[in-house]
Amino acid sequence: MITKFGSLFAGHVDFDDTGFDATPVNDRWLSDERLAGVFGKTEAIALKLEELGYDTFWSAEHHFQREGYECLPNLLLLYVHLAHLTKNLKFGCGFNVNPMWHPLRLAEDYATADILTGGRVIFGVGRGYHSREVDTFGVPSTLTDNDANREIFEEQVEIMMKAFNEESFSHHGKYYDLPPEVPYRGYTLKEITLVPRPRTLPVETWQPVVSASQRAMDFMVKHGIKGIIGGGAAGRRGYRPSGRTMARHSGQERT
């Protein structure tokens, strides 16, 4: 029996016209005041979900959408605010788009939000398909260069999981060399510590499942990431996770 319910708000403003005869999306250019109105709307939705006994409010990170469709650029900052307006409601990141962040800044911000909200923020990671957003931040989106985007995303997740779970760590990969071996207070820097680290460990982490490729599924299992199934994965014919993947999901894998 389902006992917990959540709801996702994409972050859109209210529109004066909708439907086939409405203003075409590329012709919409809303005022700053209209776009900023999304925050009051978000507050109202969160308060209503709290009142109705919902478990989790979900939303998504997006940028530069002057047309008003998805207008919440920083979920963690927003959720600290919403948590102080509510008492029980949890807040899910669906999702933080990793390639638009430095992994250590994202890890720090999540840890801070976890502490300030008493563990009511659920972490989420995503790769980013909006070229206007991701490429503007200097990293290829899945539409621009899917392979490079996946490599960067996977390395970033590796770094964040180390930062969350290890008292001190280092990482030397294709895209990140952390920390750089530089002189610091009389010694050569070899490892760093995330400050603060999350109080809630292990960090509950979610990721959208879109392509449902074997590589993606194995990566999620490796890091204990939970999946929210999107249309691509749900409608993909012929996909069957390997026996090893299924065993690892169920906790029955033999070593």
pLDDT tens-digit profile of 10-57?
999 999 888 899 999 999 999 999 999 999 999 999 999 999 999 999
List 125's β-bridge partners, or say none.
Answer: 96
Query: Who's near 185: CB < 8 A, 6+ residues apart?
Result: none
- Rounded to an integer, the average pLDDT of 203-212 is 90
> What pLDDT score was predicted for residue 249?
43
- Rounded to an integer, the average pLDDT of 215-243 is 72
In sign, the C-alpha dihedral spanning 61, 46, 68, 228 is positive
In a domain, 170, yes or no: no
List 121's β-bridge partners, or say none.
Answer: 91
Q: Which of 76, 228, 104 is nearest to 161 (CA)?
A: 104
* Residue 39 CA: distances (Å) to CA of 35, 48, 81: 9, 14, 11
Position 173, amino acid: G
Q: What's 242's domain CATH number? A: 3.20.20.30
Backbone torsions φ then ψ of 123, nearest 5 degrees: -80, 145
Q: Percentage of residues in the chain with pLDDT exceeding 90? A: 82
- Whether residue 124 contacts residue 96, with contact meaning beta carbons closer than 8 Å, is answered with yes
- How many domains are there within the chain? 1
- Whether residue 81 contacts residue 42, with contact meaning beta carbons closer than 8 Å, is answered with no
In a domain, 53, yes or no: yes
Mean pLDDT (the chain, rounded): 91
In a domain, 191, yes or no: no
pLDDT digit string, tens, across residues 105-143? 999 999 999 999 999 999 999 999 999 999 999 999 999
In a domain, 114, yes or no: yes
In a domain, 179, yes or no: no
Q: Percentage of residues in the chain with pLDDT exceeding 70? A: 90
In a domain, 151, yes or no: no
Q: Which of 19-28, 168-177, 237-246 has the lowest mean pLDDT?
A: 237-246
Structure tokens given for 60 = 């998504």
In a domain, 128, yes or no: yes
* Residue 190 CA: distances (Å) to CA of 184, 185, 255: 10, 13, 33
- Whether residue 106 contacts residue 162, with contact meaning beta carbons closer than 8 Å, is answered with no
Q: How far apart are CA 231 and CA 245, in angstroms?
A: 21
Q: How far apart are CA 152 and CA 173, in angstroms?
A: 10
In a domain, 152, yes or no: no
Strand, coil or helix: 100: helix
Which residues constitute the domain of residue 222?
Answer: 6-14+22-146+202-250
Q: At what angle do helices 75-83 and 103-116 cross, to 10 degrees?
A: 0
Residue 74: CB atoms within 10 Å: 12
pLDDT digit string, tens, across residues 70-100? 999 999 999 999 999 999 999 999 999 999 9
> What pLDDT score was predicted for residue 213?
86
